[in-house]
Amino acid sequence: MKAHEQALLTSEQMGQADQAAMTGGVPGAELMAAAGLAVARCLERRWKPCRTLVLCGPGNNGGDGFVAARLLAAAGWPVRLMLLGDKERLRGDAAHHAALWEGEVEPLTEAAGLTAVGDWAELAVDALFGAGLCRPLEGIAASVVQAINRRGLPSVAVDMPSGLSGNSGLPLGEVCLQATATVTFFRKKPGHLLLPGRRLCGALELAQIGIAAEVLQEISPAVWENAPSLWQERLRWREPQSHKYDFGHLLIAGGSMMTGASRLAARAALRCGAGLVSLAVPEATRAIYQQGLDSLIVLPVDTAEAFADLLADRRKTALLLGPGLGTDRQARERVEAALDSGRPTLLDADALTCFAAAPQDLAALRRGPLVITPHEGEFVRLFGERSGDRLERARRASAEIGATVVIKGYDSVIATPDGRAAINANAPPNLATAGAGDVLSGIVSALLAQGLPPFEAAAAGVWMHGGTAEGFGPGLIADDLPERLPAVLSILQNNDKVWD
C-alpha cells in the first residue's frame, strides 16, 4: 500500500478533491451515484431487508441519500425518505438524483421524524449533513438525531455522522449521531480516527467513487493514517556482514526508585533491534538492573557529571531519558546534558515533568533531533491546558519546541515541526496498562539509535507498539509487549500486506 493511500483529508480538502475530479472530466452526478451505491451496498452487507428510514439533507449529502434510497427500494427494501427542506430548492447533482427517486418525498418535520424513528423504522440512513456542517445540530435535525440515539436505532452515516466535525473528531454541539457504521469516500478524514469521532462513526467503510489519486498532488496533504507505507522502507534489517554497532547503541538513564520502567524500555529496545543498549543507573540499584536481562549493559553512574562523561562516546547513537528517572535536580541536569549533546534523544515521563510549564526551556536546550512522548496528563503538565483537538494541539506543540511530539493514547498523534502528522489507529484499548508507555519509548528510541529520522521512528514505533498488543485480549501487561515484537518485525521484514 502506497503512502498516498493513507492520506487524511480535511473537509475542505475533500471538497477540493471533488472539484478536481469534476474539472478532470468526472461528472458530479456520477460521483454522487457511486457514493450512494457504496452506502446501499454497506446496508445490504450488514442487514437483511428491513424498514429503512433515509433522512436527506438539503445539500450533496442528501443527494447521496436519494441514490441509496432508490437502489435499496429497487432491491425490495421497504424505504421511507424524509427531506429536510423543500425538494424544489435542491440544486445541481442533488436535484438530479432527487428527480430520479420515484417514491414519496416526505417532509422531515419534527413530529413526522420522531414518529418514524419511534414507531416504524428498523434502520436509519443519516444523509443529513455529513462533513460539510460547521455548526451545532439544531431544530428538527437535532431532535430526530437525539431520538435515533435514545432508541439505539441502527444507523449508517453518509460521510460523517451528523453533528460531528470531520476535521477534529469533536461534536459540533451537544447533539451528534452515534452511528452503527459510517461510509466515507476517496480518503478518510482526521475526524474518523480521532476520539470521540472514531467511536461515534462505528464501523468505518472507505469507498472509492472514481476520484483519481493524482488529485492529491494539487492538495498536498500533510496528515496520514499511521501505517507501514509511511516508514517501512526506512527500517533496517541485519545482513550477513552486519555488525552490532551498525544498529546503534542506545543509552538509557535509569533512576533509583521505579527501576522497572527503564528495564521495560531497555528490553523493548533490544527486541526492536538496537545493536547495544546501556543503562546508566545509580550504583545502589545496579544489582536490580542487572537481573533478568544478561544482554543489557549496566553502568554505575551517580552524578550528572559522570552521565555527561558517558556522552563523550560517540558510538552511543541515541538517548532515552524519562522512564523511572525521577524529577530531582540531578534528573534535570541529565536531561540538559542529553539535549546539549546533539544526539537523537527521546524524552518521556519524568524527563518531561522536569520541564513542567516550561516548554520554552526544552526548545532552548535542544541541540539535535528530539522526540517527546507524553500522555495527556504529561502533555498538560508541560504545555498547560490548550484548546483544540489532539491533532491540532500536537502540531502546535511540535512547532513550538522544534521536536517531534507524540501524544499517546487510543488515537495517538505523531506531529513534526514541518507540519507533517500521523494519527494511529491500530492500538487496542488493552494497552491502557502500567508500563506500556515505557515499552513504547524503548521501541522508538531503538529506531532512533538505528538512524531513523524522528518522524519515521516515532510513527513506526507507535504502530509496532499497537501491533504487539493486537489479538492479545484481556490480561495484557506491559511485560508481554517486548516478547511479541519479534513477530511484528518478522511480518514487516517479509512485507506481509495484512498489516496495511
As a three-state string, the secondary structure of 240-305 is: CCCCHHHHCEEEEECCCCCHHHHHHHHHHHHHCCCCEEEEEECHHHHHHHCCCCCCCEEEECCCHH
Average pLDDT over residues 3-12: 94
Question: Which residues does residue 279 pair with via DSSP β-bridges, in sequence order?
Answer: 252, 298
**Do residues 155 and 240 both lie within one domain?**
no
Identify whether 280 is part of a domain.
yes
**Angle between helix 436-449 and helix 480-493 axes, rounded to 10 deg:** 40
**Do residues 298 and 446 both lie within one domain?**
yes
Average pLDDT over residues 235-254: 96
Total domains, the chain: 2
**Strand 421-423, strand 203-207: pairing:** unpaired
Q: Which residues span the domain enclosing 354?
A: 228-494
Identify whether 306 is part of a domain.
yes
- DSSP notation for 185-251: ESS--HHHHSTTHHHHT-EEEEE--S--GGGHHHH---EEE--GGGTGGG-----TT--GGGG-EEE
User: Which residue among 195, 221, 247 closes a domain?
Assistant: 221
Q: 87, 57 in Cβ contact below 8 A? A: no
Average pLDDT over residues 303-317: 93
Identify whether 191 is part of a domain.
yes
Backbone angles phi, psi at 458, to 5 degrees: -65, -45
Whether the pLDDT of residue 12 is over 50: the answer is yes
**Do residues 172 and 256 both lie within one domain?**
no
What rounded mean pLDDT belongs to the chain? Answer: 96
Model confidence at 257, in pLDDT bands (50, 70, 90)?
A: confident
Tell me 5's DSSP state. Answer: G
User: Which residue among 177, 206, 221 closes a domain?
Assistant: 221
The pTM assigned to this predicted structure is 0.96
pLDDT (tens digit per residue) in 36-84: 999 999 999 999 999 999 999 999 999 999 999 999 999 999 999 999 9
**Do residues 299 and 361 both lie within one domain?**
yes
pLDDT (tens digit per residue) in 333-364: 999 999 999 999 999 999 999 999 999 999 99
**Do residues 201 and 240 both lie within one domain?**
no
The angle at the Cα of 176, spanning 173 to 177, to the nearest 5 degrees, equals 175
Please state which of the ranges 19-23, 166-170, 237-241, 302-306 shows the lowest mean pLDDT: 302-306
**Angle between helix 376-383 and helix 390-401 axes, rounded to 10 deg:** 50
Whole-number pLDDT of residue 299:
95
Whole-number pLDDT of residue 1:
53
Whole-number pLDDT of residue 498:
47
**Do residues 22 and 94 both lie within one domain?**
yes
**Do residues 52 and 157 both lie within one domain?**
yes
pLDDT (tens digit per residue) in 264-303: 999 999 999 999 999 999 999 999 998 878 999 999 999 9
**Strand 181-185, strand 249-253: pairing:** unpaired
C-alpha 171/C-alpha 106 separation (Å) is 28
The percentage of residues in the chain with a pLDDT greater than 90, rounded to a whole number, is 95
Q: State yes or no: cis peptide before 196, omega within 30 of 0.
A: yes
Identify whether 255 is part of a domain.
yes
**Do residues 240 and 286 both lie within one domain?**
yes
**Do residues 177 and 287 both lie within one domain?**
no
What is the rounded radius of gyration, in angstroms, for the C-alpha atoms of the chain?
A: 26
Q: In what order do the strands lie in the sheet with 276-281?
A: 223-225, 421-423, 413-415, 404-407, 370-372, 345-347, 318-321, 249-253, 276-281, 297-300
Identify whether 53 is part of a domain.
yes
Residue 117: give its domain's CATH number: 3.40.50.10260
pLDDT (tens digit per residue) in 99-131: 999 999 999 999 999 999 999 999 999 999 998
Identify whether 499 is part of a domain.
no
Residue 363: give its domain's CATH number: 3.40.1190.20
3-state class percentages of the chain: helix first, strand second, coil last, to nearest 5: 45, 15, 40
Identify whether 500 is part of a domain.
no
Whether the pLDDT of residue 165 is over 50: the answer is yes
**Do residues 232 and 182 both lie within one domain?**
no
Alpha-carbon distances of 354 from 167, 361, 403, rounded to whole Å: 33, 10, 17
**Angle between helix 480-493 and helix 454-469 axes, rounded to 10 deg:** 110
Model confidence at 132, in pLDDT bands (50, 70, 90)?
A: confident
Contacts of 213 (CB under 8 A, 6+ apart): 4, 5
Identify whether 136 is part of a domain.
yes
**Do residues 475 and 427 both lie within one domain?**
yes
Q: Read off the C-alpha cell for 363.
A: 526548545
User: Which residue among 189, 221, 253 closes a domain?
Assistant: 221
Whole-number pLDDT of residue 416:
98
Q: Read off the C-alpha cell for 285.
A: 540499584
Q: Read off the C-alpha cell for 439.
A: 515499552
If one counts every other C-beta atom within 10 angstroms of the C-beta of residue 232, the result is 18
Unique residue bearing C-alpha cell 506481509: 496
**Do residues 214 and 275 both lie within one domain?**
no
